[in-house]
């Protein structure tokens, strides 16, 4: 029965859904490509993959090489500092408290019978320690905490700062002020030590350590406090100074500098006020070139005539040192026979200045009186000016808008009649509000003046008799006027009131009015004082700096780092030698090309939190900028992102 039934196949009707076939075209799936290639890989793809892997491998090798070179440079610097191949480790001792014990410091430092302690006869407070057993040498200098400028000058050249603290209070208010100045200038490596802790009982000593730890964490979060009461503790402190990581300061990493240990003055004129200053010290930072200029901190820029190589006053091994100097002189004489000759058995001449390539002391431009001559504009310039005036832009603006206001409205802004009426109403409301605010501000201004006058009134119960005896009425009135001007400047910055006793056209005759800051043409160099013509200008300062740094790195000439040299500086006034004879430090640094030239300097000045006195513009201040220390009368302005010039 089943075999007798005929099977009928199903056929779709005319309304059956028809799906679109897959459009293969040039597109092939990954599987189809693998079936066609049958395991073969194109040569181009293979080479690209290999190049990518090699680039990644090269980058990894390059990073490893840079890391290894940096590590070797750090180790070489650490090994050379304080050894026979480098200068002695310069340690500046600073007492942050007036009661800090420091009398037995140098006696504790010399804790070995083989160590040698040298005292400098020309510079009080400078003591050198030579340890042949450890093959290390240090120079300790006791800084005068009462002379802030000398303390900052010593910190500019110090390898390590040794801060001495009081066991009970840590540092006083003046010590906090010194720390603020040191942090602002740039802090090198430092060590904290305390003396006199062994004089207290054990129970009180524990409490004092906890209190000191809380005080230190404010300024030095990760610092460790060392005790300096016994010879063993002094040895641990020396080991910490020698092995700790050196912190680099940007302003001295590309320059050579030295601390004067001996000086001699030879007058060159009959009056004896100007002469040649012979300065001896260890070269630090970079190699010292005799053709560069040298800057004496606080005294100015000068030229060098020659560099000598006297014997090292603190050698680890005198025999090796003499042989080293002799070999170095032989090499210099073979390379430059004219620049290196033997004067006597001990002193050798390393280099003599070459007048053809020596840097000039010119710091200002000599202006040409005919350079600023005015000429009539050409016909082309007149035509361009007329065409620029004829150009007009049609804009749809609210009713009552001036042409000056319309120039600042964007083109895509549209307004209709309804908005015009609303804008008029809003302007009327704003005018009423402004009038009300002006009246309120006048009332508040009167109240503020009354409040200021009340705050300076001192009740009789809190007066000090000594204050009344030493009262200077004129000085108090000047300080009160300063505070009033400071308050007014805070409320209305960069604004000047029109004087009542003088005409405005006479008071502001030096100023120039512009119809529009956006469209009015003006020249930034127009009507400038003649002194501005003496300023050097750099077309691209950053590019010039990059080129100078590259040239200095490629030029390896001069006295090497670690050599004890004597520099002959010409044209030095006698006051520099008198400054050194008073026991004040004398710091020298070499200048880069163009660094002695005068230019415009913009600085960002921040007020110290502990300073509340008002600072008036054009008041003389002392600036510490890198190795330079100078006096200037600055002009203050608001710190904005615009291209505002602050001239000094």
- pLDDT higher than 80, residue 376: no
The residue that leads in pLDDT, 248 or 390, is: 248
Confidence of residue 604 (pLDDT cuts 50, 70, 90): confident
- pLDDT higher than 70, residue 156: yes
Average pLDDT for residues 166-179, to the nearest whole number? 85
Residue 11 pLDDT: 76
Confidence of residue 568 (pLDDT cuts 50, 70, 90): very high
Residue 419 pLDDT: 46
Confidence of residue 517 (pLDDT cuts 50, 70, 90): low
Q: Which of 217-226, 315-324, 541-550 has the lowest mean pLDDT?
A: 315-324
Q: What is the largest CA-CA distance in the chain?
A: 149
Spatial contact of 165 and 171, defined as CB atoms under 8 Å apart: yes
Average pLDDT for residues 386-405, to the nearest whole number? 70
Average pLDDT for residues 172-193, to the nearest whole number? 88
Give the pLDDT confidence of 58-98 residue by residue, as tens digits.
Answer: 888 888 998 998 888 877 777 777 777 788 889 998 888 88
The residue that leads in pLDDT, 563 or 38, is: 563
The residue that leads in pLDDT, 438 or 349, is: 349
Residue 234 pLDDT: 84
The count of other CB atoms within 10 Å of the CB of residue 195 is 22
Confidence of residue 553 (pLDDT cuts 50, 70, 90): confident
Residue 600 pLDDT: 78
Could you give the CA distance from residue 371 to residue 363 in angstroms, rounded to a whole number?
A: 20
Q: Is the pTM of this model over 0.85?
A: no
DSSP state of 90: E
Residue 434 pLDDT: 46
Average pLDDT for residues 550-578, to the nearest whole number? 87
Could you give the CA distance from residue 300 to residue 388 in angstroms, rounded to a whole number?
A: 51
Q: Strand 274-282 vs strand 262-267: parallel, antiparallel, or unpaired? A: antiparallel
Residue 426 pLDDT: 47
Residues 6+ apart with CB under 8 A from 429: none
Confidence of residue 296 (pLDDT cuts 50, 70, 90): very high
DSSP state of 458: -
Q: Which CATH number fits domain 89-253: 3.30.70.20, 3.40.50.720, 3.40.50.300, 3.90.1150.10?
A: 3.40.50.300
Q: Which of 216-220, 360-364, 517-521, 644-648 has the lowest mean pLDDT?
A: 644-648
Confidence of residue 567 (pLDDT cuts 50, 70, 90): very high
Q: Which of 218-222, 507-511, 521-525 has the lowest mean pLDDT?
A: 521-525
Long-range interactions of 132-136: CB distance < 8 A, separation 24+: 132/316, 132/317, 134/242, 135/83, 135/84, 135/316, 136/82, 136/83, 136/89, 136/238, 136/242
- pLDDT higher than 90, residue 367: no
Residues 6+ apart with CB under 8 A from 111: 231, 232, 234, 235
The residue that leads in pLDDT, 342 or 614, is: 614
Average pLDDT for residues 377-399, to the nearest whole number? 73
Q: Which of 213-227, 333-347, 387-401 has the lowest mean pLDDT?
A: 333-347
Report the chain's mean pLDDT, rounded to a whole number: 76
Could you give the CA distance from residue 596 to residue 550 in angstroms, rounded to a whole number?
A: 19
């Amino acid at each position: 029965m089943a075999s007798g039934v005929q099977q009928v196949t199903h056929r779709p009707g005319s309304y059956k859904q028809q799906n679109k076939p897959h459009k293969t075209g040039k597109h092939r799936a990954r599987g189809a490509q693998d079936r066609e290639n049958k395991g073969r890989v194109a040569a181009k793809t293979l080479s690209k993959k290999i190049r990518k892997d090699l680039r990644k491998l090269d980058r990894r090798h390059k990073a490893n090489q840079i890391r290894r070179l940096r590590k070797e440079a750090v180790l070489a610097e650490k090994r050379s500092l304080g050894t026979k191949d480098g200068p002695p480790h310069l340690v500046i001792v600073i007492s942050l408290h007036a009661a800090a014990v420091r009398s037995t410091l140098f006696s504790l430092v010399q804790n070995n019978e083989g160590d040698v302690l040298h005292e400098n006869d020309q510079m009080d407070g400078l003591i050198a320690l030579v340890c042949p057993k450890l093959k290390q040498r240090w120079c300790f200098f006791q800084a005068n905490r009462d002379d802030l400028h000398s303390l900052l000058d010593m910190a500019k050249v110090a390898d390590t700062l040794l801060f001495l603290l009081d066991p009970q209070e840590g540092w006083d208010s003046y010590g906090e002020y010194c720390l603020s100045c040191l942090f602002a200038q740039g802090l090198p490596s430092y060590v904290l030590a305390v003396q006199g802790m062994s004089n207290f009982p054990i129970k009180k000593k524990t409490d004092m350590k906890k209190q000191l730890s809380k005080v230190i964490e404010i300024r030095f979060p990760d610092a460790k406090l060392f005790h300096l009461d016994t010879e063993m503790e002094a040895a641990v402190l020396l080991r910490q100074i020698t092995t700790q990581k050196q912190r680099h300061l940007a302003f001295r990493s590309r320059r050579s500098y030295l601390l004067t240990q001996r000086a001699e003055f030879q007058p060159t004129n009959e009056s004896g006020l100007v002469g040649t200053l012979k300065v001896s010290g260890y070269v630090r930072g970079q190699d010292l070139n005799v053709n560069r200029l040298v800057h004496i901190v606080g005294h100015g820029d000068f030229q060098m005539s020659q560099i000598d190589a006297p014997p090292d006053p603190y050698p680890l091994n005198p025999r090796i040192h003499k042989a080293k100097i002799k070999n170095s002189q032989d090499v210099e004489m073979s390379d430059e026979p004219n620049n290196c000759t033997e004067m006597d058995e001990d002193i050798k001449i390393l280099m003599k200045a070459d007048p053809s390539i020596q840097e000039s002391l010119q710091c200002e431009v000599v202006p040409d009186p005919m350079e600023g001559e005015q000429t009539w504009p050409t016909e082309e310039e007149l035509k361009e000016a007329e065409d620029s005036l004829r150009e007009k832009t049609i804009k749809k603006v609210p009713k009552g808008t001036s042409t000056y206001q319309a120039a600042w409205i964007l083109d895509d802004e549209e307004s209709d009649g309804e908005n015009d009426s609303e804008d008029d109403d809003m302007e009327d409301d704003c005018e009423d509000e402004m009038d009300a605010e002006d009246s309120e501000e006048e009332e508040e201004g009167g109240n503020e003046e009354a409040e200021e006058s009340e705050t300076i009134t001192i009740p009789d119960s809190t007066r000090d008799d000594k204050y009344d005896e030493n009262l200077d009425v004129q000085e108090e009135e000047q300080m009160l006027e300063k505070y009033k001007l400071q308050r007014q400047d805070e409320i209305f910055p960069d604004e000047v009131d029109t004087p009542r006793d003088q005409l405005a056209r006479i008071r502001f005759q030096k100023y120039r009015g512009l119809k529009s800051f956006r469209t009015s043409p003006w020249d930034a160099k127009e009507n400038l004082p003649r002194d501005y013509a003496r300023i050097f200008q750099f077309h691209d300062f950053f590019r010039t700096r990059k080129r100078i740094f590259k040239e200095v790195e490629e030029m390896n000439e001069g006295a090497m780092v670690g050599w004890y040299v004597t520099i002959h500086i010409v044209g030095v006034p006698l006051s520099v030698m008198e400054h050194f004879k008073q026991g004040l430090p004398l710091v020298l640094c070499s200048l880069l090309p163009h660094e002695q030239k005068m230019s415009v300097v913009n600085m960002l000045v921040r007020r110290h939190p502990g300073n509340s006195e008002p600072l008036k513009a054009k008041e003389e201040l002392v600036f510490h900028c890198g190795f330079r220390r100078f006096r200037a009368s600055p002009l203050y302005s608001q710190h904005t992102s615009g291209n505002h010039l602050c001239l000094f």
